[in-house]
């Protein structure tokens, strides 16, 4: 009988230790970057010089609004009636999707939180059909607010894409094959 009481006491102590041990498990933190974001504004952060035939070099000044071309370039793989109906999803599992209201989400790659002020977006070829291997977009100098975030990035624009932007002018033979364009981005949480 005495052995049975010790056995019951041992089981109660072990159960108590197990229950209190489970409550000490650390809670998994979710990144502040997780969420759905629309690209609401994009502006040149550095001057862009474009050599042309006939007009010489055209300088596009800092602060030039390039929202529409950036929305088209980054969200072209999801066709939406308007840019405000499309968004980028940064999910908890570090996957990135592009979505259009009323459509299935497109797997666009992955994302990494480099720091509290920097994101790395690993965009695949489904997200950027003009790039067979996709590309990495680093967003730096991020400032978060209750409504979204702002940041800065640099993207390579192929000569052919810049040529479309300056049409009907043509690019000079001295134009680089790739233009590095630095711009600020504003993302609004959906």
Q: What is the pLDDT of residues 12-48, one digit of tens each?
A: 455 545 455 555 556 678 899 999 999 899 999 999 9
CB atoms within 10 A of CB 151: 19
**Which pLDDT score, from 0 to 100, does residue 95 have?**
97
**Which pLDDT score, from 0 to 100, does residue 13 have?**
53
Give the burial class of 158: count Cβ atoms within 10 A of its Cβ; 0-12 exposed, 13-18 middle, 19 or more buried: middle
DSSP state of 169: S
**Which pLDDT score, from 0 to 100, does residue 94 have?**
96
DSSP 56-89: EEEEEPTT-B-HHHHHHHHHTTS--SSGGGEEEE
User: In what helix (H) or strand (E) does residue 108 lie, and over which residues does it extend?
Assistant: strand 106-115
* Measured distance CA(65)–CA(37) in Å, rounded: 19
Q: Does the domain spanning 35-189 belong to CATH 2.40.128?
A: yes
What is the separation, in whole angstroms, between the first and last Cα of the chain? Answer: 66
Domain boundaries, the chain: 35-189
Q: What is the pLDDT of residues 44-79, one digit of tens each?
A: 999 999 999 988 999 999 999 988 888 877 777 777
């Amino acid at each position: 009988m005495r052995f049975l009481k010790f056995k019951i006491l041992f089981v109660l102590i072990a159960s108590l230790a197990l229950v209190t041990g489970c409550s000490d498990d650390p809670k998994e933190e979710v990144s502040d970057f997780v969420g759905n974001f629309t690209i609401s504004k994009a502006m040149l952060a550095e001057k862009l010089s474009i050599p042309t035939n006939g007009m010489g070099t055209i300088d596009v000044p800092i602060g030039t609004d390039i929202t529409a071309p950036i929305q088209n370039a980054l969200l072209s793989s999801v066709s939406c009636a308007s840019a405000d109906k499309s968004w980028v999803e940064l999910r908890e599992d570090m996957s990135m999707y592009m979505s259009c209201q009323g459509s299935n989400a497109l797997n666009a790659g992955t994302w990494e939180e480099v720091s509290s002020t920097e994101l790395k977006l690993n965009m695949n070829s489904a997200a950027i059909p003009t790039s067979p291997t996709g590309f990495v977009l680093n967003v730096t100098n991020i400032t978060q607010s209750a409504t979204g975030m702002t940041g800065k990035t640099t993207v390579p624009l192929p000569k052919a894409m810049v040529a479309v932007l300056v049409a009907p002018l043509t690019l000079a033979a001295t134009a680089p094959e790739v233009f590095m364009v630095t711009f600020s981005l504003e993302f609004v949480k959906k």
